[in-house]
Structure 1
Amino acid sequence: MGSCDKLKIKSQQKAKFNYLFLKYNRVLLVDLTNVNSFQIQNCKKSFDKNSVLIFQKNSLIRKILKSYANNKQDIDLFCSFVSGNVGLIFSKLNPFEINEILESNKVYASPKLGQVSHCDVVIPAGQTEMLPDSTSLFQSLNIQTKIQKGQIEILSPVNLLKKGQKVGNFEFLLLQKLNIKPFSYKIAIKKILDHCMCYDAYILDIKSEEVSKLAQTLINNLDLITTFIGYPSYTCIDRAAKKISNHLFLLDKLIKL
């Protein structure tokens, strides 16, 4: 490829990013590790016209993002996480809506032999469909069983794999025979760049009840401060009005006695 062609491609890429930054004010960095093309296509369909998922070389992503830096510190932080198998989602949707779409396209899979487990895997107690000739497999893993109605029954829950543990031959065979798919894969949000302000994806796990509780705590703290400095706030006035109303109601009752 000649130098002219390379310059043309770079110009087209920059023009594409220019368009995306003008149209969308929110950029999400996503991890695509172990995500298949079918999942990606389904997510793109679910986004409709509200979001765009793109892939580029990490070096190019960092370079272009830094060229749009209104808040250099946040952009640098965002770019520091651009590594590995990642992509960008440009979106008009809020991060919670995007996360719901990604979560709905999550797939479950059986582990591969020698794979490192990324979660604890617990085998539940109860009846299986395995025949008595497989008892030796359970014995190899020190799993207590009994034969019930011609099938193997697991007597108590078993922590088969711990997070970070490699999947051995016996663990692999047992999960295959029990048809248990303990691992899940999805497009995972790593970082969010919202109007050039960077924040972590862990906020997506915060429940609305927790937000309401925090907001109420902040309001109460504000009331204490405004009361202390003698500067009335709306909530202070509202509370005082309710107290006065209650006192007037009681006073009216006493007068009528």
Structure 2
Amino acid sequence: MPLSPERKKEYFERMKALLTDYKKCFIVQVDNVGSKQLQDTRKALRGQAEILMGKNTMMRKVITNYVEEFPDSPVQQLIDICKGNIGFVFTNGDLGDIRTVLESNVRPAPARVGGIAPSSVTIPKGPTGCDPGQTAFFQTLQISTKISRGQIEITNDFQLIEEGTKVNASQAAILKKLNICPFTYGLILQSVYDNGSLFDAKVLDITDDVLTAKFGEALSMVASLSLILGYPTAASIPHSIANAFKAVLAITVGLPSYTFPKADPYKAIVCGDAE
């Protein structure tokens, strides 16, 4: 049902206010997310962020009008992101905290015929609770079974569905029979807008520890190349000094009549071993 002119005006004004008041937002995919789940997510984010849903055409129109009114605004790049079943989560808080709330608010869901599997599904081995008369059903799907204690038992873990494939009727039926809800649905983070920069949400996986480790790897590589090429850099100089000390120490240890303070402990060890 289309919105009335009054409701459209309210929506335009609200989105314009959000674009003005907030400098960060998540672009989220909302496939298979029910109204109750969305309401619970709004409650969890109260005071930290605001969720905005709507038709893509309306959102693109609001952003276009906003850019025309404020030509220097970088929000124009959000126009092309308004595709598919998406929404916005606006915030000025820590993106990591908001992400934690969004990813924690998920719901288990059954496999639906014709739906695309968001993840692979494996049926675990063990008793199924099904009577022996239903063995043929499992055989149709090539699931190895045996009869144990009056019920069908799956003998090995069986991968039933691969990620990204369509769920067929037989797969959905056996999961329902086994009372398995294999999928979880919630707001899926697609992109992040932060003070004019638009990037993939996976960038948030890069923590300080990851950056530190990557920097250490790069520093080691620069030092190695510098030493091989004989070209001193800030990364290689500590290694060069250490290597020079080792060379001087090796010569000093072999000279009984010469030493220097830093070499004394090493000479004592060598002389002690020789004795």
Classify the TM-score, shorter chain: 0.7 to 0.9
**Tell me, what secondary structure is at the counterpart of 2:108?**
strand
- Cα 1:131–1:196 change in 2 (3 A) is same
The answer on 1:147 being equivalent to 2:147 is yes
Q: Mark the structure with the bigger radius of gyration.
A: 2
Deviations 1:104-126 (A, max 9, x none): 11111111233343332211222
> 2-side partners of 1:179 and 1:112: how far apart?
13
Show the counterpart of 2:63.
65
Bigger relative contact order (CA 8 A; separation at least 6): 1
Matched to 1:251, the amino acid is A
* Equivalence map 1:172-187=2 (5 Å): 172-187=172-187
Please tell me whether the aligned partners of residues 30 and 187 of structure 1 are also in contact (alpha carbons under 8 angstroms): yes
- Pick the aligned partner of 2:38 from 37, 40, 49: 40
> 1-side partners of 2:141 and 2:266: how far apart?
78
**Tell me, what secondary structure is at the counterpart of 1:179?**
coil
Show the counterpart of 2:85.
85
- Cα 1:204–1:181 change in 2 (3 A) is farther
Please tell me whether the aligned partners of residues 222 and 236 of structure 2 are also in contact (alpha carbons under 8 angstroms): no
> 2-side partners of 1:84 and 1:197: how far apart?
21
The answer on 1:24 being equivalent to 2:54 is no
**Following TM superposition, by how much is the alpha carbon of 1:22 offset from its aligned partner in structure 2, in angstroms?**
3.8
**Following TM superposition, by how much is the alpha carbon of 1:28 offset from its aligned partner in structure 2, in angstroms?**
1.5
**Tell me, what secondary structure is at the counterpart of 1:34?**
coil
Show the counterpart of 2:193.
193
Equivalenced residue count is 248
> 2-side partners of 1:230 and 1:165: how far apart?
54
> 2-side partners of 1:208 and 1:202: how far apart?
14
Q: CA RMSD in A?
A: 3.6
Show the counterpart of 1:110.
110
The answer on 1:124 being equivalent to 2:136 is no
TM-score (norm 2): 0.73
- Cα 1:217–1:29 change in 2 (3 A) is same
> 1-side partners of 2:144 and 2:243: how far apart?
65
TM-score (norm 1): 0.77
Please tell me whether the aligned partners of residues 75 and 196 of structure 1 are also in contact (alpha carbons under 8 angstroms): no
Matched to 1:92, the amino acid is N
**Following TM superposition, by how much is the alpha carbon of 1:222 offset from its aligned partner in structure 2, in angstroms?**
6.6
Please tell me whether the aligned partners of residues 25 and 91 of structure 1 are also in contact (alpha carbons under 8 angstroms): yes
- Unaligned runs of 5+ residues in structure 2 are 250-259
Please tell me whether the aligned partners of residues 69 and 75 of structure 1 are also in contact (alpha carbons under 8 angstroms): no
> 2-side partners of 1:161 and 1:32: how far apart?
22
- Unaligned runs of 5+ residues in structure 1 are none
**Tell me, what secondary structure is at the counterpart of 1:33?**
coil
